[in-house]
Amino acid sequence: MKIKYSIIMPCHNTSDFIDKTLKKISFLLLSRNDVEIIFVDDGSTDDTYKKLSSFSFEKMLIVRKKNGGVSSARNQGILHATGDYILFLDADDFYSYNIFEKLDAVTSTIDLIFFGYNTVNLNDNIIRNYALSDSDNINTLFSKNDSELLLSNFFLKKIYFHICAVAIRRKFIQANNIFFDELVYYGEDIDFIIRAISLTNNIFYIKDILFHYVNRPNSTVKEPVSMSQLTRIDSSEKLYLYFSTNNYSMDLVKKFNFYHLTLHIHLILGIFRKGLKTDGTDDVYDQISKITLLLKRKIKFPYTILGLKCYIFYKILCLIPANRYKNFILFSQRYLK
């Protein structure tokens, strides 16, 4: 039977929790013979491959590769996928039991099918919902064939997307050569979504919560900000050039600049709280100082509490010369922790 859905799951050293995920997938696929699952073992050094190999499902594929990060793993999955639609799932998260029933109800010509999602704890108790309702003007956002309107609301933090809460038509990916940026190690998923939305007006939204993100306690949360996390700055710069040099409105560019600013602020606050991991050179400080490029651009601040907070932070950052960011960070780490 023709494959309708390809689920791509990157796995790296997931042995401790992959069993639970595989059990949920087994239940999900019991009544489907048009779904394939592609596990991409991204250079695991534990028992991940052994556990994946023990999983019994007719339409499955295990791709083993040298460790290269989640972007390269997902890209490998895309290359091996054969379904009409591609979905991404991380190894510790899960879908609702009725996800394919809901997706089946949508016409097969839609390029991007977004759906609601939530965050849950290790006991599957809900922490927060990220599903839009009728009061969020879904019809206005998704039925006017206006990707700029959708992106504007996303850039202003009025709506949220997740890479595992969208089904993407495979022919759309192929026609537009959309892949994950393998030089970006943080924020690569949002970069992918933004580029995908910008390339089509053929988008649909399912209000139901069909994806569950497991909020797993992780020791890396307390680790200092590293250069790999700062790669999202370069990703945002590429997106700025994309929107500012193509046929997009200046209003959208200004809203994107606000979104870009929130990423910078998030990183700087992370440095205040956790410190900065350096390699003995000034490379990380040079990377952070790229914010001065953004501060010279026009920014659309929303009339919200978040907009006000970002505006105050923006005014403070405007006072710091590009060649003084190292001193600013060192001072902040010492006195503002």
* 70-84, 87-101, 167-181, 318-332: segment of lowest average pLDDT: 318-332
Query: By C-alpha distance, which of 102, 135, 94 is closest to 118?
Result: 94
CA pair distance 41, 49, nearest whole angstrom? 7
Specify the pLDDT at position 144.
Answer: 57
CA pair distance 288, 286, nearest whole angstrom? 5
The residue ranges of DSSP E strands in the chain, in sequence order, are 5-11, 35-42, 60-65, 85-88, 94-95, 112-120, 126-129, 166-169, 203-214
Specify the pLDDT at position 219.
Answer: 46
Percent of the chain with pLDDT over 70: 94
Q: What is the pTM of this model?
A: 0.91
Taking the chain, what is the end-to-end CA distance rounded to the nearest angstrom? 59
* 54-58, 186-190, 207-211, 243-247: segment of lowest average pLDDT: 54-58
CA pair distance 150, 190, nearest whole angstrom? 14
For the cut 70, the answer to whether the pLDDT of residue 134 exceeds it is: no
Strand-pairing partners, residue 6, are 36, 86
Strand-pairing partners, residue 11, are 41
pLDDT digits (tens, 9 = 90+) for 145-193: 678 889 999 999 989 999 999 999 999 999 999 999 998 888 899 999 9
For the cut 80, the answer to whether the pLDDT of residue 314 exceeds it is: yes
Specify the pLDDT at position 116.
Answer: 94
What are the chain's domains?
5-217 (3.90.550.10), 220-335 (no CATH)
pLDDT digits (tens, 9 = 90+) for 233-289: 889 999 999 999 988 999 999 999 999 999 999 988 888 888 888 877 788 888 888
Specify the pLDDT at position 218.
Answer: 67
